[in-house]
Structures are given as structure tokens and as C-alpha cells.
Amino acid sequence: MAVSIDEQISLLQRRAERILSIEDLRSKLTRSAQTGRPLRIKFGMDPTAPDVTLGHAVPLRVIRQFQEWGHRAVLIIGDYTARVGDPSGVNTTRPMLTAEQIATNAKTYMAQIGKVLLAGEKHLEVRYNSEWLGQMNLLDIIRLAARKTVGQMLERDSFKERYEKGVEIRLHEFLYPLMQGWDSVMIDADVEMGGADQLFNNLVGRELQKGEEKEPQVVIVTPLLVGTDGAIKMSKSKGNYIGVTDPPSGADGMFGKVMSLPDGLMESYYTLLTDLPAEEFKTAIVKNPRDAKVRLAKEIIRQFHDESAAAAAEAEFSRVIVGHQVPQEMPEMVVSGPTKLAPLLVKAGFVASNGEAIRKMREGAVKVDGEKVVDPAKDWTFAAPAVLQLGNRRFVRIKPV
């Protein structure tokens, strides 16, 4: 059942913070429908950070829509710059990678995006940008650099802020947006997808294509998903993330993480990560926020796992958290006594230090076989297996030697 171009644009707009421009997008979609030539939907991957979170899933879901309408995703693996890392040594988040590390990370990445995108040559083309960047010489780079001015680069939010604060910007950082833009020229991108923080870079690609007298790409950026802390952009390094390969349930499972979201985030999660109609989820949120959150969790698990995993996660969550029961499965830890509880909580990985463990005990968050233990000085000798618990979601089964 064909979706009309007006409907396609309307569906894309649900998850698009900016589309530059809608006219160009409409004309590309129209021409593609007439000629049968699929559009090429570019998206870039940084091999130094291969983890895919629900934040990345937002633009990926838009790409999936394009794929379903017959277009082709073109994944660019930025291997060329990963090989140099950050030559100034200032930015430790840009380590220098070997060819093997790049290959491993690319494989990890592919496995994760496979949760959202259609695979197969018809739907997905994978390119390494060393293919063309490795051919450039100094004259090519001078010509490329001449396309932008220092002033234009300093208009980019992240550069502007650093320049104004006196945080150094190394010159090679100005070259990266140009290289990324050159990728668009080389693969003849029709559309580039990215998060809102990629707007500047992706517009450089659009400009460079114009400069080469090619048809400029449409730039679509999606909003940055706020992490589970309700405060900042979701990011693995900030610990406020839900990964697309996270298990459905358990202490680090999707269900529990979604249930821990601040209510205020539900609307954006529903909008960006599900296809439910806005009226429907808005009404549900108002009616019963808790039920709406359960439904959101199940919708997300259904996407990245399946229907039965969603149901099982809900059942498990009800049993453990709501019914205050212990989960059916949990890790085990062999213990020889007598011992105090604090070091066991550290060993189990529930807390970072004895001090934190003692605080948690005094707060009443620690239980043994369902009974609160508030005295950190007490010595324990376990004769039979017991369940040690922190809060509602951390459990370990203690086995005597």
C-alpha cells in the first residue's frame, strides 16, 4: 500500500527537528517515485564510539522509514580519521584506532543497527571514507578548506562556545566538518540524517555538493533524546542511556530503565521512539502516567526484542518491584563467613565503597531474605543460601562455601 509523498513528509516531520529544505525533499521524493531510482540516505558512524542507544535509534528509525519506502541507507564508517585519533592528544575521547579495532567496532555497530534498519544490499550500502579521503593530497585539501571561512566555522555552536570561553580549538578540528561534508559529495547523498548536534556539519555537506555543481542533499536532523536522568542528552559515557541491545528485564534491563524515567519525558519518548498516534499517547499519559509508562516500556521492548519479551519483562517487573518478590534469576556469590554486609555489597557491584554500603544500610535500602538490615557492625555467617538485596532492583544470591 503506497504512502503518498505528502503522507511521507508528514510522517518524517514527526521525528524531524529541522528539514532543509522541505521543497528539496518533496522534489527528490517525487522524482524518485517517477524514475524508480531510490534516494541515497547518508548517515555517518564514528568507529571510536560504536555503542548505539535509543538516542541513536531516533534518526535510525527515520532511515528505516525511508528504507520501507524503497530508498537506500548509505552508512559511512569514518575510518580515515579514526586512524589518526586526536593528534593533539587533548581529546581523549578520540583515541587512535588500528584497522582491527575499526573492523571490530564496525561489526559491533552493524549488529546494533540491525535492530532498527533493514539489511541486505538493496536496503543498505556500507562505505569506509578512507576510500576517497586516502586519495586526497595537499592541493585538494587547500581547495576544500578555501570553501569555508574562519568566521563560518566559529558560528558552529560548539566552536563558538569554546572560542568565547578561551578553550582551545586545534586547527585540525576545522577540517573534520569539511571531510564529513566531502563524504556527501563522494557518495552522492540525497539526504543526510543526524541528531540536532550534527546540523552544522551536515549543512557543510550540502554546501560542498553545491560547490561541485551536484544536487545538494536534504539535511534532516532529529531532536536529541534526553537520557534516563531527565537532564542531558542520552549518552553511554554519561551513564544515562538505554542501549538498543540492553536486555528486556533485570537490573539493567529496558523495562526498569523506562519505568525510572521522569514522567515529563514520556511524551518525547513516545513521539520519537514509537509510532503511536499523538492523541492516543497524550490521553494515556494524562489518564494514568504509570500505565502509560508500562505501555511505553513494552512498546520499546517489542521493537528491540519481541512481543513475548515485552510481556515477560512486564510480569517480572510486577512480581519484583510491585509485589516486592525476588526475581526468578539472579547472580550468585560464594561467601565464607563470618563477614559484615558492607564488603559483600561492594563485591556484588551494587555500591562503589564500604562507606556507600553503610549509608545505604542506614537508609533502610538493604535486605537479607526480605528483612531490612540497618546495623553495619553485625557479623554474618551464612549456613544456607540467602538473598542479599539493595533497593528494589539489585539482588544477589549468597551461597555459603
185 to each of 80, 132, 133, 189, 218, how far by Cα in Å? 16, 10, 12, 7, 13
Least distance from its own copies to the Cβ atom of residue 200, Å: 14
Is the Cβ of residue 53 or residue 184 nearer to its own copies in the bound state?
A: 184
Is the Cβ of residue 122 or residue 143 nearer to its own copies in the bound state?
A: 143
Least distance from its own copies to the Cβ atom of residue 350, Å: 42
Least distance from its own copies to the Cβ atom of residue 20, Å: 22
Taking the C-alpha atoms of residue 29 and residue 16, their distance in angstroms, rounded to an integer, is: 16
Least distance from its own copies to the Cβ atom of residue 275, Å: 42
Is the Cβ of residue 133 or residue 265 nearer to its own copies in the bound state?
A: 133
Least distance from its own copies to the Cβ atom of residue 142, Å: 5
Binding residues for its own copies, rule: CB under 8 A, are 80-81, 83-84, 86-88, 133-134, 136-139, 141-151, 153-154, 159, 163, 166, 168-172, 174-175, 178-179
Least distance from its own copies to the Cβ atom of residue 116, Å: 32
Give the 3-state secondary structure of residue 271: helix
Is the Cβ of residue 8 or residue 81 nearer to its own copies in the bound state?
A: 81
Is the Cβ of residue 132 or residue 380 nearer to its own copies in the bound state?
A: 132
Quickly tell me which residue has 519525558 as its cell. Answer: 265
Beta carbons of 266 and 225 less than 8 angstroms apart? no
Is the Cβ of residue 51 or residue 86 nearer to its own copies in the bound state?
A: 86
Give the 3-state secondary structure of residue 317: helix
Least distance from its own copies to the Cβ atom of residue 203, Å: 16
How many alpha carbons lie under 13 Å from residue 195 in its C-beta half-sphere?
15
How many alpha carbons lie under 13 Å from residue 90 in its C-beta half-sphere?
8
361 to each of 370, 383, 387, how far by Cα in Å? 13, 22, 15
Residue 248's nearest CA partner among 208, 319, 282, 299 is: 299
Please calculate the CA angle 109-14-27 and round it to the nearest 5 degrees: 90
Is the Cβ of residue 148 or residue 282 nearer to its own copies in the bound state?
A: 148
Q: Max CA-CA distance within the chain? A: 79
Least distance from its own copies to the Cβ atom of residue 149, Å: 4
Is the Cβ of residue 150 or residue 377 nearer to its own copies in the bound state?
A: 150
Residue 186's nearest CA partner among 149, 162, 217 is: 217
Least distance from its own copies to the Cβ atom of residue 196, Å: 24
Is the Cβ of residue 22 or residue 175 nearer to its own copies in the bound state?
A: 175
C-alpha cell at 256: 526498569
Least distance from its own copies to the Cβ atom of residue 179, Å: 7
For the residues of 25-80, what is the DSSP string, one character each? HHHHHHHHHHH-PPPEEEEEE-TT----BHHHHHHHHHHHHHHHTT-EEEEEE-HH
Give the 3-state secondary structure of residue 139: helix
Taking the C-alpha atoms of residue 191 and residue 63, their distance in angstroms, rounded to an integer, is: 10
Q: How many residues appear in the chain?
A: 401
Is the Cβ of residue 134 or residue 370 nearer to its own copies in the bound state?
A: 134
Ramachandran bin of 85, using left for φ above 0, alpha for ψ from -120 to 50, beta for the remaining angles: left
